[in-house]
Copies of this chain bind each other. A is one copy, B any other.
Amino acid sequence: MKKIHIVGLGLLGGSFGLGARQKFPEISISGHDSNPQNLKDALTLGIITEAKENPDPDTDLVILATPADTLGELLVKTLDQVGEKTLVFDLGSTKAKLCALMANHPKRKQYLAGHPIAGTEYSGPKAAFAELLDRKVMIICELEKTDLHLKEKAYQLFDALNLKLRFMDPEEHDRHLAFVSHLSHISSFMLGETVLQKMADEKNIFDMAGSGFASTVRLAKSSPAMWAPIFTENKENILSALDGYISNLSNFRDKIAKEDSEGMYQEMAEINKIRDILDLGK
């Protein structure tokens, strides 16, 4: 492996760049970002060794790390640019639309659909760090549709970065992520919004916020440029998750209004089972 090219030099693309440079110091890593400041920062921070809009035809790996709604067009364009020995993979948070778009593409074998379950509430190249991916799960979809030999190039990088591979179909991926990732971001953004609205009347409302509030509202710091496209791309699954959430909130609201302490107690005790499930995952 000699050449990697990264498009989108934010938190994820940047962390892949830093990780790859650390593990394979001899490799040349070119990259591009539509935001000139990001591109400049990525060079300064050593995420890439060269700024270049398009990958060379003999690039081994092209990593696409741009917002979810841009990936389809970018992927098709990139596959046109590269030679036969290049593998292109993306890091998008939604997978079904992209895999459907690629279903009959003549270069389908040169594409690998990936999604690393890694991130922070920060964004941009300055938020990137090599260890972000360490021991994180990397979901791969439609594994069997990618060329066996080309896939090895990606695995070499994933292994070096200490990523744990998991395989699932794109529809299952999008259904699960709607509930265990996308919904969390919406709940957190709306929580932040609700308290900010209250701040109009109660200036010092944030003074009393403890660690519990900080924990639940952390994701409200996340990048709108990343998340607005995800909510559109995975619309159906997210609406289903969100409708379930709003319905649970409304039912619990009614229990509070009726002062149904016993009902609230029972419901929360049932939800406490999540302790065992979450601790199992550790």
Contact = CB atoms under 8 A, between A and B. Distances in A.
A158 interface: no
Interface in A213-242: 213-222, 224-225, 227-229, 231-232, 235, 238-239, 241-242
A249 B242 contact: yes
Interface stretch (A2-10, A32-40, A44-52, A181-189): A181-189
In the complex, which of the residues A194, A202, A277 has the most CB atoms of chain B within 10 Å of its own CB atom? A194
Contacts of A214: 278
Interface stretch (A17-25, A57-65, A75-83, A251-259): A251-259
Contact of A221 (B173, B241, B244, B274): B274
Nearest to A191: B187
Interface string A188-223: 111111111111001011111111111111111110
28 contacts: A117-B210, A118-B210, A119-B211, A176-B208, A179-B198, A179-B202, A181-B210, A184-B215, A189-B268, A194-B241, A194-B244, A196-B270, A196-B274, A207-B281, A214-B278, A215-B215, A215-B216, A215-B218, A215-B219, A220-B274, A221-B272, A221-B275, A224-B268, A229-B261, A235-B259, A242-B253, A246-B246, A246-B250
